[in-house]
Amino acid sequence: MKRLIEEAEQFLMNTYQRMPVLFQKGRGTRLYSTEGKEYIDFVGGIASLPLGHCHPKVVVAIQKQAQRLIHVSNLYYTEPQIRLARLLVQHSFADKVFLCNSGAEANEAAIKLARKYSKEKYGPHRYEIITALNSFHGRTMATITATGQQKVKDGFEPLLPGFRHVRYNDIEALRDAIDDSVCAIMLEPIQGEGGVVVPSREYMQEVRRICADRDILLIFDEVQTGVGRTGTLFAYEQFGIEPDIMTLAKGLGGGFPIGATLAREHVAEAFTVGSHASTFGGNPLACAAAVATLETVLEDGILLYECKRKGEYLKSGLEQLKERYSSVVVDVRGMGLMLGMQLSRECAPVVKACLERGILINCTAGHTLRFTPPLIITEDEMEILLNTLDDLLGRLS
């Protein structure tokens, strides 16, 4: 392990704050290091493993597809791509799908689609996109500009024009920012990287009404919230509304890289032959993994129901810790199995202490512990987490 970590430091660019552990195997909710230690995974690839590590149906789907066809250009048709697009349309608001490789690419496609649609309909002045402060939409030039956090922009200026940021969950701030140049509002239904911040149902419904009244496109970035994470297949269902464009990635491939941009028919028509593309978008292997993941998540609705129930169980346990250690725990928030516990101090030491005890969690927004385990996590495993946090928070208080 030490030798390989030294080689990583030598050969890999230093863009991640990695923990001192080297994983070689994963099964279900567990990861195993090269030293043979077992860990319960409450990070889940940062909401990327709804079915856990190496789910049999996903593994078999990838294996079978790899024996048939690994890659072919999008100048031709492939069955896995068509099956995935059909599944996404059948189970969402959307009529059309563009497939790519990541959340940032999906958001890039959404930004381009919104601008092209609006410029064709209203003219060249209609191109501004409103996003939220504290948001996170990716690491490309357009998506870091869209992101409402300065730390991801530093060093990459000049940024792209055409974005403005407003306070999240503040409808008046949003109204004040709208003028005739605005073509879209782009929001995360829950701000994940921003600290697991959940807006009110009333706010989201009013945003939808404003967009409908002003013919402004509503884009939901569901890269982190999609594919069952909140207890419904997509988080927009929790608010009783539908977007015009939605982006997916992370959990869609069950751990295999894939992204998707979904849109209503009249919006999707703005993308014509040659207006957007991706060499590996809709790759047969990625689509086979995504089809297996979606079919398993949707099977009988049991997994979605269990995600909601387990999320309530874990959230209740975290709230009890908040009451017990009110000097340390500021807030508990989230939905389904996307939960956050905000601390009154830096949370990195808690993350490190959990790692030492065989539990993987991570820290977001500096002070918030984030929990995005596989949806197959058990109550017994959640109790191990809660008991560990109980001990650690007790020491901090």
3-state helix, strand, coil in the chain (%, to 5): 45, 20, 40
Of the candidates 90, 89, 70, the residue with the CA atom closest to the CA atom of residue 80: 70
The pLDDT tens digits of the residues spanning 26-45 come to 999 999 999 999 999 999 99
Of the candidates 116, 234, 239, 250, the residue annotated as catalytic is 250
96 classed as catalytic: no
pTM score over 0.95: yes
Domain residue limits, the chain: 2-55+301-396, 56-300
Distances (CA, A) of 273 to 75, 97, 276, 315: 11, 14, 8, 47
Just give the CATH number of 2-55+301-396.
3.90.1150.10
Any residues with CB less than 8 A from the CB of 88 and at least 6 apart, and which? 94, 97, 248, 260, 262, 294
Tell me, what's the pLDDT at 301? 83
pLDDT reported for residue 275: 96
Instruction: Look up 95 and say whether it is catalytic.
Output: no
Do the first three CATH levels of 2-55+301-396 and 56-300 match, i.e. the same topology? no
Q: Classify 179 as helix, strand or coil.
A: coil
Q: How far is CA 104 from CA 4, 31, 261, 348, in A?
A: 29, 27, 11, 26
Mean per-residue pLDDT over the chain, rounded: 97
List the catalytic residue out of 42, 136, 163, 234. 136
Do residues 346 and 26 touch, judged by C-beta distance below 8 A? no
As a whole number of angstroms, the distance between CA 280 and CA 82 comes to 15
Residue 20: predicted pLDDT: 93
Q: What is the pLDDT of residues 333-381, one digit of tens each?
A: 999 999 999 999 999 999 999 999 999 999 999 999 999 999 999 999 9
Distance in angstroms (rounded) separating the CA atoms of residues 113 and 107:
10
Q: Identify the CA nearest to 135 among candidates 247, 25, 237, 26.
A: 247
Top-level class of domain 56-300: alpha beta
- Where is 204: in which H helix or E strand? helix 201-214
Bridge pairing between strands 245-248 and 338-343 = unpaired
Catalytic residue (one of 96, 163, 221, 271):
221
Check if 136 is active-site.
yes
Closest CA to 289 of 110, 98, 70: 70
- 250: DSSP letter: G
Reported as a single tens digit per residue, the pLDDT across 270-317 is 999 999 999 999 999 999 999 999 999 999 789 999 999 999 999 999
Whether residue 257 is preceded by a cis peptide bond, meaning omega within 30 degrees of 0, is no
* Rounded-to-integer distance, Cα 158 and Cα 87, Å: 40
Residues in the chain predicted with pLDDT less than 50, given as ranges, are none
| Amino acid 397: pLDDT | 85
Provide the pLDDT for residue 89. 98
